[in-house]
Structure formats: C-alpha cells, structure tokens
C-alpha cells in the first residue's frame, strides 16, 4: 500500500488541507472537536507528515546544531546523551558537527550559526576566540555555550562548571590526606582549540598548594595531548624524579587511567604508594574505583538544550548562566600518606 498523504487525511476527516496542516503544527486555531477528528484520521491511516514539507510550512529547519570537539571522548558522549534524550521529546532533530582540526573549528564557528543551517546552536567546550565574536554576535539564531565562555559574549546563555574550584577541591583532598608532593597531569594549557578547563583546574591546583603553604614545583606538572597513553608518559617522568609525587591529580578521568597505568609499570601500589584523583566521573571511573571530582556531564547537555528550546519558544528574554555543582567522589585510589 502507498503511504497515506495529507489529502487522504483531509478526506477521511472531512476537512480542508489547511486544517490538517494546522493540527500537525499544533496551531490553536482549530476546535477541539475538529482536532480530535483529524488526529483520529492520522492514526487510522498511519499518516507520517513529510518532514521537508513541514519545515517549509513552518519556515524552520527543525534541527539543532551541536558543535562538539572530539565527540567520541567519553565526556562529550555523555553530554550529547543529555542533548539527544531531551530533544527526543521535542520536534527538533540533532545535527552534530564534529571538530578535530583548527580549520574545522573555524569553519563551524563561522558557518553553522545560520538560520538556513539550524534553528539553534550549542557550542561545547570550544571557548570562542576574539576573531569568532562578530560571527556569533551577528548570528540570526540563538546560541548556547556549554563548558565554554568569552567575556564579550555576555549576551549568550551558558551552562558552566567552576573548574577553578574543581581543581582546588581535587588538590585539597590530597592535601587533607597528608600529601605534600602533589603532581598535576593535564592537557596543554596553551592550545589552539582554546580549551580552558585544564588551565582553570591548574589555577585551582595552584591555589590549593598556595593556601597550604606548599611550594609549586614545575617538574610536578606534566601537560600534553588528551590521551591515556600521553598521560602515562607524563606520569612516568614524574615518577623518575628521586622525590617523586606521592599524589597526582589528573585533569580528566581518561588521563587518570594513564596515571594508574604508569604506577603499575613502576610497580607502585595505589593508593598506598601513590594516590590518584581524576575529574569528570565518567562511567569507567566507578569500574576502576577511581576517586574523582564529579561534574554533571549528562545534565550539562540537558540544561544547554533546554535553554536553547526556551529561547526558541520566546520564554527567555535575557541571557542566563546555569552553573552546575561539583562533587568529590572518594573511592579506592586515594589514601592518607604516612611516609
């Protein structure tokens, strides 16, 4: 059988094509009795509206664009889960723009925030640079930043986490356990993608050391690509120092896995000879018993798309900043230092 058309629905319900269209688009200009009759016809005929025709009739794309760097990383997968599950209850589809090169990043910042591309845009973790500001401020669609910021973009809604405080919490946990030789493994603080979380967590790390009167030692800071293997290499360098760290804070759980691998390679027991704390609380962290600072990854995607949908519905008349809480999750990889 051929799929039912909007004309078939109109004939079955005894109404005009315009009435069926208004019911499909949830227009209030239809009586409850007529709406019910049309909906019954749609159900009886198993009619599925043509998405292209519906977009044209509404003058919208009915899509949300998400600009996401390295979207296969566990933390971004969890953020996108929050977006996708929230959008499932709306009329919007999700288009993901994966960014793994600087050229792709610049292209997305300039070309994606347009009404012919999407009705709204989410930008994850890619804090805009000065050169991006004119494109984002001049966009004809609402934009929400998630885990990203720029002082000139106060007019955009944001979902953020206090990474400085997160870094302080992680480092203070090790200090409270009696550690004084504390290392930090992170992404490169100066990076072309303008990722800021590792740098902000580094600030929190330094703040905690300063407050405790512990001198900062540059050899205790390893920075490199966001990879388990690289984190393992950076940790190995620290563990080769005669007075090696007794505790290491990794700026992500993925990097913490590399720290744990290095400890194993050196024959060190965790946490008796080396305490390790990560950041994020991705799924694998619980499996490995990793102490970490939990940020609400799923909720950040969820809150970001909720802010975007409210903007599209005209329910927000000023930018909002949603700051999500952090939580220290103590498991099996940190312990008191008695050496």
Q: Which residue ranges form the domains of the chain, and what is each CATH number?
A: 6-58 (1.10.260.40), 63-161+297-324 (3.40.50.2300), 163-296 (3.40.50.2300)
Beta strands in 109-266 (DSSP E): 120-124, 143-146, 157-161, 182-187, 221-224, 247-250
Predicted pLDDT of residue 6: 82
Distance from chain centroid for Cα 106: 19
Lowest-confidence pick of 11-25, 99-113, 212-226, 259-273: 11-25
pLDDT in tens, 159-202: 999 999 999 999 999 999 999 999 999 999 999 999 999 999 99
Distance CA 13, CA 15 (A): 6
Distance CA 128, CA 118 (A): 19
Whether 324 contacts 163, CB under 8 Å: no
Q: Compute the distance between CA of residue 275 and CA of residue 271 in angstroms, rounded to an integer.
A: 4
Establish how many alpha carbons lie within 13 A of residue 87's alpha carbon, considering only the half-sphere containing its beta carbon: 23
> What pTM does this model have?
0.83
**129: Cβ contacts below 8 Å, ≥ 6 apart:** 150, 194
Helix (H) or strand (E) holding 311, with range, is helix 297-312
Q: For the chain, give the number of residues.
A: 339
pLDDT range class, residue 30, cuts 50, 70, 90: confident
Cα four-point dihedral sign 63, 68, 74, 78: negative
With residue 278 as reference, give the H or E element that holds it.
strand 275-280
pLDDT score for 47: 85
Q: Residue 196 and residue 104: Cα distance in Å, rounded?
A: 19
**Spatial distance between the Cα atoms of 330 and 260, rounded to a whole number of angstroms:** 16
């Amino acid at each position: 059988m051929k799929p039912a058309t909007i004309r078939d629905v109109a004939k079955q319900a005894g109404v005009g094509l315009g009435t069926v269209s208004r019911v499909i688009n949830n227009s209030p200009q239809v009586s409850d009795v007529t709406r019910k009759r049309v909906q019954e016809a749609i159900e009886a005929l198993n009619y599925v509206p043509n998405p292209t025709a519906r977009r044209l009739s509404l003058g919208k794309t009915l899509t949300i664009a998400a600009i996401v760097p390295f979207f296969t990383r566990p933390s971004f997968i969890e953020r996108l889960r929050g977006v996708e599950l929230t959008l499932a209850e709306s009329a919007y589809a999700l288009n993901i723009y994966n960014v793994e090169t600087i050229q792709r990043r610049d292209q997305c910042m300039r070309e994606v925030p347009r009404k012919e591309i999407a009705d709204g845009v989410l930008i994850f973790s890619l804090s805009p640079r000065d050169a991006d500001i004119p494109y984002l401020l001049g966009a004809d669609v609402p934009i929400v930043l998630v885990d990203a910021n720029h002082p000139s973009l106060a007019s955009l809604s944001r979902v953020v986490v206090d990474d400085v405080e997160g870094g302080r919490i992680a480092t203070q946990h090790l200090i409270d356990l009696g550690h004084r030789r504390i290392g930090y493994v992170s992404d490169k603080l100066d990076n072309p993608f303008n990722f800021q979380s590792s740098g902000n967590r580094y600030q929190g790390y330094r703040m905690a050391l300063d407050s405790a009167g512990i001198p900062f030692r540059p050899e205790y800071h390893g920075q490199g690509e966001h990879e388990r293997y690289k984190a393992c290499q950076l940790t190995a360098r620290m563990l080769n120092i005669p007075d090696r760290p007794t505790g290491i804070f990794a700026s992500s759980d993925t990097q913490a896995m590399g720290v744990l691998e290095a400890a194993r390679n050196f024959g060190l027991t965790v946490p008796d000879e080396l305490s390790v704390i990560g950041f994020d609380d991705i799924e694998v962290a619980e499996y490995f018993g990793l102490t970490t600072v939990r940020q609400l990854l799923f909720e950040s995607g969820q809150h970001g798309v909720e802010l975007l949908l409210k903007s599209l519905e005209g329910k927000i008349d000023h930018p909002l900043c949603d700051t999500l809480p952090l939580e220290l999750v103590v498991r099996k990889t940190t312990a008191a230092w008695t050496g």
